[in-house]
Amino acid sequence: VQLVESGGGLVQAGGSLRLSCAASGNIISINSMGWYRQAPGKQRELVADITNDGTTSYSDSVKGRFSISRENAKNTVYLQMNSLKPEDTGVYYCNADQITYRNELGDPAWTFGAWGQGTQVTVSS
């Protein structure tokens, strides 16, 4: 099972970006998925998360500007980022708290706390 992010880049303050994270493998279901970010010299922090029934939560710093969504049929989570600020700069990581999948024998198996490789978001002032 792998998580692969895409959609990062360089944008001016006030601009928008949309991040995507696709989970691959013989996946049966995924519980909550979330986006974290890590700025240089700072700890990784939760930006937003979404449960498998669509309940969302956001950090105070991004409320009203970012929107998280998911397509369960595609095992994909998105992060729409609007009104970007320089302080949004960082590496954005996708996380899935519990993934149920079929192993090589076809039996259900689980992985916990899966992370993507990260995608860089840079917001210039």
pLDDT of residue 112: 94
Mean pLDDT, residues 83-107 taken together: 97
pLDDT tens across 19-49, in order?
Answer: 999 999 999 999 999 999 999 899 999 999 9
**Could you give the CA distance from residue 32 to residue 117 in angstroms, rounded to a whole number?**
18
Share of the chain above pLDDT 70, in %: 100
Pairing between β-strand 45-50 and β-strand 33-38 as defined by DSSP bridges: antiparallel
Output the pLDDT for position 77.
Answer: 98
pLDDT tens digit sequence for 67-83: 999 999 999 999 999 99
Instruction: Tell me the average pLDDT across 97-105.
Output: 95
Amino acid at 68: I
102: its two tokens: 């079929």
Q: What does the alpha-carbon distance between residue 63 and residue 81 come to, in Å, rounded to a whole number?
A: 10
Share of the chain above pLDDT 90, in %: 99
The pLDDT assigned to 32 comes to 97
pLDDT of residue 26: 94
Report the pLDDT value the prediction gives residue 51, as an integer from 0 to 100: 96
Do residues 85 and 33 touch, judged by C-beta distance below 8 A? Answer: no
Segment 6-22 shows an average pLDDT of: 97
pLDDT of residue 118: 97
